[in-house]
Amino acid sequence: MSVPTIILNNGKSFPQIGLGTWQTEGNEMMEVIKNAIDVGYRMVDTAYAYCNEKIVGEAVKSKISEGVIKREDIFITTKLWITDHQPSKIIPACRKSLQNLGLDYVDLYLIHWPISLKKFKRTETVTAEDFDESVTLEEKWQKMEECVHLGLTKNIGVSNFKSEQIERILKIAKIKPVTNQVECHPYLNQKKLIEFCKERGIVITAYAPLASPSWPENNVFTEKISNILNEMKVKNIAEKYNKTPAQIVLRYLVQLGTVPIPKSTNPKRMAENLNIFDFTLSSEDMLSMDSLNKNARSFTFKAVMNHRDYPFNSEF
């Protein structure tokens, strides 16, 4: 199955759908990545904070050694964690991710969150004393640009940034961010942020595109929201096109102009999630999907909501 690509603001190609890997580790992760590559995925999204970079790298190298893909065929994204934002730490953090992945370069390196912390453990309460507000977004971005100059990454971008923060980056950027990776699904369709970024040549990558109904309650990052796949409007449209509800949601996000990165460990569902480029939702169906928006965010990270750079305290 062939995945279409879009062209980024620097002329490089970006697969129009990818595989998310948060909360997937160990041998299961190894098989997930291999299966994903076998069915046609050509983008894998990971992060230092996911603790699975090494497994992602091993799975990719396995498929390269089998001759299924070449290194240039697979687009690998990883991310700078919130405790590595001091300028002296950013390049070493990127090198550490490359070491974990066993790669000479990544295709995309993102600032995972705009906020900076001195320390962070999921099992501990975050307090104001943990906040690091000594480094600016502009200083972080300049070091991200250096990662490109050093050949550590082909592209750089941001994640969980609001419009105001992107504007600050663009004012000083010598290399523009190619993407802003944010939570995006029919309950939080991000249409204003999508349009804002589009006007500036920045692609929205949609994480949690199916609203992640399986995410645990009381997680330090997340809150429980409804299961989008149970919505009658989604089911009715799925029946109309002879597709699954998940395929309808993903197609909706593609037509909004985003690049979704659904997570799945089931080979059948992985293949289904990829098979969304043989139909187009009508304008009426797009409006019906639009009507599901209620600005419901599952990924809130409220533990840091008083941080100077917390991104979800404004409209978009």
Contacts of 207 by beta carbon, 8 Å cutoff, 6+ apart: 20, 22, 45, 159, 181, 182, 183, 184, 261, 299
CA distance 6 to 34: 24
The active-site residue out of 48, 50, 109, 187 is 50
50 among known catalytic residues: yes
**DSSP-derived secondary structure for the chain:** -PPPEEE-TTS-EEESS-EE-TT--HHHHHHHHHHHHHHT--EEE--GGGT-HHHHHHHHHHHHHTTS--GGG-EEEEEE-TT--SHHHHHHHHHHHHHHHT-S-EEEEEES-S--BS---TTS---GGGB--SS-HHHHHHHHHHHHHTTSEEEEEEES--HHHHHHHHHH-SS---EEEEE-BTTB--HHHHHHHHHTT-EEEEESTT--TTSPTT-SSB-----GGG-HHHHHHHHHHT--HHHHHHHHHHHHT-EE------HHHHHHHH--SS----HHHHHHHHTT-----SB--GGGTTSTT-SSSS--
Positions annotated as catalytic residues are 50
